Amino acid sequence: MSKKKEKSNYLLERVIKVVGENKKGKVLDLGCGNGDYSKRLKNLGFKVLAADLDEKRFRYSGDISFKKCDITRELPFEDNSFDFCLLLEVIEHLRNPYLVMSELGRILKPKGELILSTPNILNLKSRFRFFFEGAYDFFREPPLDQVTNPKETGFNLHIVPYRFHELEYLLKVNGFDIKTITASVCENKGLFFLKPLIVLQSLLKERRSERTGGIDHSRINKILLSKELLYGRHLVIVLENNS
């Protein structure tokens, strides 16, 4: 197996491990793409429904149920329909994420789980890139120019680079509580020399906030200084539906 192909499977393997440890149930793979995640979960015994706007990309017609739908509109599913929902490498494409999250809270069962992934723009490599380029990993091209690129299509544009700060807020106000945070793969540990500087800055920020009566930054800093945030390529977050 080539190194490139091996890397392209990291996210898939992490998600399958995370979901596969659960009791089998009904899964919605929303924004399923070619359907590889759906296929693996079906093979593990889950009842899977794949959904996407682009029906042509889906590889497993006749084997896995598929529903054509526009993620950005009201979803064509009944309330409390699913035990699990996958939203993998999708949220950074959305122009109306609050509506989408609200809909996911509606169609998931109470205490059902949302498994979400997105590029981790706060890892050390991405921060280092931003210092020189003013652009994060996975968000290097300006969307306004990229939308006219004949090799790109509008719905594949990366338009919103989420820091963990804004992402957890988006999820919380829509009724989702974070259960676990992991990463597709931890890499670029050669940039470890940056970590002491970031730790120092985080501690100084905590102390400044304490002196001025600001918020307690210790909670968020604990997350931001974790190996998943400092070295993870993609964040993989498991959330519980409490909406």
* CATH number for the domain harbouring residue 50: 3.40.50.150
Structural domain range at position 162 = 3-188+232-241
Domain count, the chain: 1
**How far apart (Å, rounded) are the C-alpha atoms in residues 24 and 174?**
25
Q: What is the CA radius of gyration of the chain?
A: 19
Is residue 162 one of the residues assigned to a domain? yes
Nearest of 54, 78, 86 to residue 67 by alpha carbon: 54
Is residue 70 one of the residues assigned to a domain? yes
Is residue 128 one of the residues assigned to a domain? yes
Is residue 173 one of the residues assigned to a domain? yes
CA 37 to chain CA centroid, nearest Å: 14
The DSSP annotation for 15-35 comes to HHHHHHTSPP-EEEEET-TTS
pLDDT at 157: 86
pLDDT at 1: 41
pLDDT at 155: 59
Is residue 63 one of the residues assigned to a domain? yes
pLDDT at 243: 86
pLDDT at 227: 96
Is residue 204 one of the residues assigned to a domain? no
Supply angle C-alpha 156, 183, 141, rounded to 5: 30
Q: With left for phi above 0 and alpha for psi between -120 and 50, is residue 138 left, alpha or beta?
A: left
What string of pLDDT tens digits covers the 243 residues of the chain?
Answer: 444 444 458 999 999 999 998 899 999 999 999 999 999 999 999 999 999 999 999 999 999 999 999 999 999 999 999 999 999 999 999 999 999 999 999 999 999 999 999 999 999 999 999 999 999 999 999 999 888 888 776 557 899 999 999 999 999 999 999 999 999 999 988 888 999 999 999 999 999 999 999 999 999 999 999 999 999 999 999 999 998
Give the E-state strand segments of 53-202 in sequence order. 65-68, 82-88, 108-119, 176-183
Is residue 196 one of the residues assigned to a domain? no
Is residue 12 one of the residues assigned to a domain? yes
Predicted TM-score (pTM) above 0.75: yes
